[in-house]
Amino acid sequence: MKDWLDEIHWNADGLVPAIAQDHKTGRILMMAWMNRESLALTVRENRAIYWSRSRGKLWRKGEESGHLQKVHEVRLDCDADVIVLQVEQLGGIACHTGRESCFYRVFEDGAWKVVEPILKDPDAIYHAGHRHE
């Protein structure tokens, strides 16, 4: 039997981009990277686990913030090089800035405009110096 992980077209660094999308609203919450281990663990544990390129280790979404992502479905695109996770975002905050989504800026009149409120102060979410999510 073919290993389902072998069907994914991993990049030169052994990673694949993963988009987290709210399973109810369809809102794009964030994008992060996954390696074979993080994707296999995500499927096994039914929670989003990514690969942190900056830290060079597995990143269990919510391990510091408490804002876990419960996975409802995992999809692979037609070119087998992008993953979409349908998730339930616990706490309603996916971004380390304290916003619902990482995509909170809109290009208007030649500049990036912030169009979403901070739902919770990042300093109240993270311990000092641990803003990696």
Binding residues for Zn(2+): 78, 95, 102
- The C-alpha atoms of residue 1 and residue 16 are separated, in whole angstroms, by 22
Q: Which two tokens stand for residue 10?
A: 């991993």
- Annotated binding-site members: 77-79, 81, 95, 102
Q: Report d(CA 38, CA 60) in Å as an integer.
A: 9
Q: How far is the C-alpha of 39 from the C-alpha of 121, rounded, in Å?
A: 30
Binding region for Mg(2+): 77, 79, 81
98-107: Cβ within 8 A, 24+ apart = 98/122, 98/124, 98/125, 100/27, 100/29, 101/27, 101/28, 101/29, 101/30, 102/29, 102/30, 102/31, 103/28, 103/30
